[in-house]
Amino acid sequence: MHITDILVTGEPIIYGAMVSMVLVGIALLFLLTYFKKWGWLWREWLTTVDHKKIGVMYILSALLMLFRGGVDAMMMRVQLAFPDLGFLNSQHYNEIFTTHGTIMIIFMAMPFLIGLMNIIVPLQIGARDFAFPYLNALSFWSFFFGMALFNISFVIGGAPDAGWTSYTPLSGAAMSPGPGQNFYLMGLQLSGIGTLATGINLMVTILKMRAPGMKLFHMPIFTWSTLVTSFIIVFAFPILTVALALLTLDRIFGSQFFTLTGEGMPMMWANLFWMWGHPEVYIVILPAFGIFSEVIATFAKKRLFGYNVMVWSMIVIALLSFLVWVHHFFTMGAGAFVNSIFSISTMLIAVPTGVKIFNWLATLYKSKIEFTVPMMWSLAFIPSFILGGVTGVMLGMAAADYQFHNSYFLIAHFHYVLIAGTVFACFAGLTFWYPKMFGHKMNERIGKWAFWLFFFGFHVCFFPQYFLGLDGMPRRLFITNVAEWLPLNVISTVGAFGMGLGFMVFVYNVYYSFRYSERETTGDSWNGNGRTLEWATTTPVPYYNFATVPYVDEIDPYLRMKEEGKTTYEESELKPIHMPSYTAQPILFMALLGLASFGLVFEWMYVAIFGLIGGVIMMIVRSFDYDDGYYVPVDEIKRTEKKARGL
Amino acid sequence: MAAEELKTGPLEYRTQEGQMGIMGFWIFLGAEVVLFATLFATYAVLYGRTADAPVPGELFEPGIVLIMTFLLLTSSFTCGLAIHEMRRGSVKGLTIWMSITLALGLGFLGFEIYEFVHYAHLGATMQSSAFWSAFFTLAGTHGLHVTLGIGWAILLLIQIRKRGLTNVTSRKFFIISLYWHFLDVIWIFIFTSVYLIGMVL
């Protein structure tokens, strides 16, 4: 086989991407070698099982993917604003909207939120780490190698081009030969293993490792949202696992599930995909609701209004999320009766969601709001998200959906809920908990610039798309030289670049804050407004989290601790702390499974079998591994805490 | 946390680590239920879509499937006895009953492989039609689970020889017993909704 058979050739943009990837790679290798950081990288990060470090790696990867997905988006916007420029050809355009969608949902939104959960949830419930730290590292590396596999597709072998929903029969072997769709299947399958494991891990952590006294209805609302999300993950992801496996069997081993021959049933894919896919959108929105609830309560300086109702509405949303999947394909022709049922269940979801909106407003009512950057993201979320929600109800009416279906109206709708919901929450959450992670805040002035650029860019980009949709512009269209669509498309593109600029300012702020921000001296970073246990730890958080775990019997435990002068360091109660050992097994294990997946993508069976055998060997190694971790002696805890607390 | 160890009750439940491991595995089994439910649903949707291949009524025979069911159900019983011996503190009893369980499991697998090969000779393969794709995937996924379970249990039998009954080894055996019973339950559904219905309709 010749190298040019695998490398994607003939596209100047892709050549550019290849060159820049190679240059960045060389620069990284050089920097790591020059500053002698290889050992540090291996010992402190690649082999870590510390939930805080794993969370940071998740978030860094997610930011990288936000960049990649964002570049895809801008390229599409350039094409749509200047359709006659010949910037992209139709094949390249198909590939780009496919990778944009897949990356943003699977490799950006989910890992970003899971990263925040990783860092914050154990701190909020007073735990030393996850229930299964080894499994947590395994989850991260499965996501990482799945992401890497999916992302190299555009330089090696060719990117998938059947849309992020990958509908059959288009995505089957007959109509999409070659490795492109295989990258989609294997990349998602590999990272899906990790997501399922994280769901189980978080559930056990939350159910079994809470601080003494903390009942379920004392848990911080972000932890609650994580618990509900984990429930959805555990019951939705196996459906995706099966759907991907069946399509893989179809494509590589010639079975007939979704084919047009052998009495296969292509429409079954849409059902299986959305039976996972609809719960999936709640997987990325419920944690966002949790983040906004925390931020709003903190900066309104009030107890969250209607805490119990907030929890129950999340539970109701989670249950309903499994009962609405057909609304993604009303036009497929399931019949009026079926469509009506799913129409009603869809509109029902607006009820608990509306309840949440009113609870946030009631929390803000008559409060003394502090306009910090996380609070601004949260306040901007409420009206923006309502626009997305209301248009969602419009789409949910089956009869009307025959008009809206697959138009830019839909595109505008789901970007309004996913950006104003999930992406705003990622920025809010990252800014809010940034001092907990890195020991300094992000600069507020630059943060506000990023916020306003992104906020206006977002509305300028997506608001016109509602009207484009009503004017009949279909999604996934690569030439739009219909005269009346052009002005709104140009405006939309300007907005997209505004968002891009906002993101760049945000990233610059990471650098600026690293250089110039004041270092934290207390753990309670936001002017002493912290309400929950994560703010009770020192900053940066010691690797064992809590020297002593406080007794908790309310939803804002740290407020009371501050009144009573208590801390998470009661010298008389110190005991040795049991901690898990770092291990190289997770990264090796998942690298081998990544190799197997790579083999399957190109249908090189020897590579696939080699990788799979390697994976089995790693499982055997793990089974015989009786490493029970180690104990942190009391003296070391005393030394660490005294230094951090300036005692 | 891990240091605190209860003095009474089954070994595997005495440490928090043990309790969490077992709870995590129960949740994992919940996910497995969804996985198999999806495969059953797929099978139901594709039922009758045999194209040019033989229909299931022509191929399914009660004899071999009854033997397989008998083997697997018995193995679930012996697996229960193995855990009973473990609770009594008998490594020997645990090893013997677990080995019998694995022998029965291997017998089941042997018959299943024979069955698959037999069907292939008669013109029903994974590739021949949507129905047969669904059949081989559903039964094959169950068979793959049995295979993994056998390999896993062998690893545990080696460990118990070296280490005896501890909090950790008893947790591992308890968890694999949950897994084994779960596969039995799945088989009962395959037996009724795939084989019995397939023979009648």
Q: Is the pLDDT of residue B40 over 90?
A: yes
User: B11 pLDDT band (50/70/90 cuts)?
Assistant: confident
Chain B CB within 8 Å of residue A240 CB: no
Give backbone dihedrals phi and psi of A171, rounded to 5 degrees, phi first. -85, 0
Report helix, strand or coil for A439: coil
Cβ burial B140-150 (10 Å sphere, 16+ → b, else e): ebbbebbeebb
CA of A626 vs chain B CAs: smallest distance (Å): 9
Of B1, B24, B38, the CB nearest to A200: B24
| Alpha helix ranges (H) inside A152-220 | 180-208
| Residue numbers in A near B46 (CB within 8 A) | 257, 263-265, 268
Report the sign of the C-alpha dihedral through residues A183, A188, A193, A195, in that order. Answer: positive
Residue A202 has what pLDDT?
A: 97
CA of B148 vs chain A CAs: smallest distance (Å): 10
Asked if A162 and A270 touch (Cβ cutoff 8 Å), the reply is no
At B191, list the tokens: 């037996």
Residue A3 has what pLDDT?
A: 66
Residue A86 has what pLDDT?
A: 84
Q: What is the C-alpha separation between A571 and A641, in angstroms, rounded?
A: 10
Of A132, A207, A239, the CB nearest to B38: A239
Rg (CA), chain B: 19
Residue A616 has what pLDDT?
A: 96
CA of A207 vs chain B CAs: smallest distance (Å): 9
The answer to whether the CB atoms of B129 and A208 lie below 8 A apart is: no
Structurally, how many domains does chain B consist of? 1
At B111, list the tokens: 């018959």
Residue B2 has what pLDDT?
A: 46
User: A348 pLDDT band (50/70/90 cuts)?
Assistant: very high
Q: What is the C-alpha separation between A435 and A535, in angstroms, rounded?
A: 10
- Per-residue pLDDT, averaged over B91-115, amounts to 97
State which residue of chain B sits closest to A620, comparing Cα positions.
B155
User: B1 pLDDT band (50/70/90 cuts)?
Assistant: very low
Q: What are A23-59's pLDDT values in tens digits?
A: 988 999 999 899 989 999 999 999 999 999 999 999 9
User: A14 pLDDT band (50/70/90 cuts)?
Assistant: confident
Chain B CB within 8 Å of residue A203 CB: yes
CATH of the domain at B127: 1.20.120.80
CA of A245 vs chain B CAs: smallest distance (Å): 10
User: A466 pLDDT band (50/70/90 cuts)?
Assistant: very high
Of B28, B34, B133, the CB nearest to A239: B34
CA of A414 vs chain B CAs: smallest distance (Å): 27
Range(s) of the domain holding residue B189 = 11-35+65-200
Of B165, B157, B198, B200, the residue nearest B56 (C-alpha): B198
CA of A610 vs chain B CAs: smallest distance (Å): 18
Asked if A120 and A222 touch (Cβ cutoff 8 Å), the reply is yes
Of B1, B23, B46, the CB nearest to A128: B1
Residue A209 has what pLDDT?
A: 95
Q: In angstroms, how far is CA B108 from the centroid of its own chain?
A: 10
Chain A CB within 8 Å of residue B163 CB: yes
- Per-residue pLDDT, averaged over A7-18, amounts to 81
At B41, list the tokens: 């649903």
Residue A488 has what pLDDT?
A: 95
| Residue numbers in A near B155 (CB within 8 A) | 620, 623-624
Chain A CB within 8 Å of residue B32 CB: yes
Report the sign of the C-alpha dihedral through residues A246, A251, A253, A254, in that order. Answer: positive
Q: Which residue has the tokens 């052998």?
A: A262
In the DSSP assignment, the letter for residue A630 is E
Residue B86 lies in a domain: yes
Residue B106 has what pLDDT?
A: 97
Q: What is the C-alpha separation between A156 and A14, in angstroms, rounded?
A: 10
Q: What is the C-alpha separation between A151 and A141, in angstroms, rounded?
A: 15
Cβ burial B28-61 (10 Å sphere, 16+ → b, else e): bebbbebbbbbbbbbbebbbebbeebbebeebbe
Residue B31 lies in a domain: yes
Of A269, A284, A275, A298, the residue nearest A228 (C-alpha): A284
The answer to whether the CB atoms of A268 and B152 lie below 8 A apart is: no
For chain A, give the percent of residues with pLDDT over 90: 85
Asked if A580 and A566 touch (Cβ cutoff 8 Å), the reply is no
Residue B3 has what pLDDT?
A: 52
Q: Is the pLDDT of residue B141 over 60?
A: yes
Chain B CB within 8 Å of residue A237 CB: yes
Of A203, A207, A265, the CB nearest to B46: A265
Asked if A520 and A440 touch (Cβ cutoff 8 Å), the reply is yes
E strand or H helix at A579, and its extent? strand A577-579
| Residue numbers in B near A241 (CB within 8 A) | 35
| Residue numbers in A near B137 (CB within 8 A) | 245-246, 249, 255, 257
The answer to whether the CB atoms of B126 and A255 lie below 8 A apart is: yes
Residue A440 has what pLDDT?
A: 94
Residue B5 lies in a domain: no
- DSSP letters, A69-89, are HHHHHHHHHHHHHSTTS--S-
Report the sign of the C-alpha dihedral through residues B68, B73, B77, B80, in that order. Answer: positive
- Per-residue pLDDT, averaged over A268-296, amounts to 96
Chain B CB within 8 Å of residue A196 CB: yes
User: B12 pLDDT band (50/70/90 cuts)?
Assistant: confident
Residue A12 has what pLDDT?
A: 82
Q: Is the pLDDT of residue A2 over 70?
A: no
The CATH class, in words, for A287-514 is mainly alpha
CA of A255 vs chain B CAs: smallest distance (Å): 4
| Residue numbers in B near A263 (CB within 8 A) | 46, 49-51, 129-131
Chain A CB within 8 Å of residue B193 CB: no
State which residue of chain A sits closest to B40, comparing Cα positions.
A242
Residue B57 lies in a domain: no
Q: What are A394-439's pLDDT values in tens digits?
A: 999 999 999 999 999 999 999 999 999 999 999 999 999 999 999 9
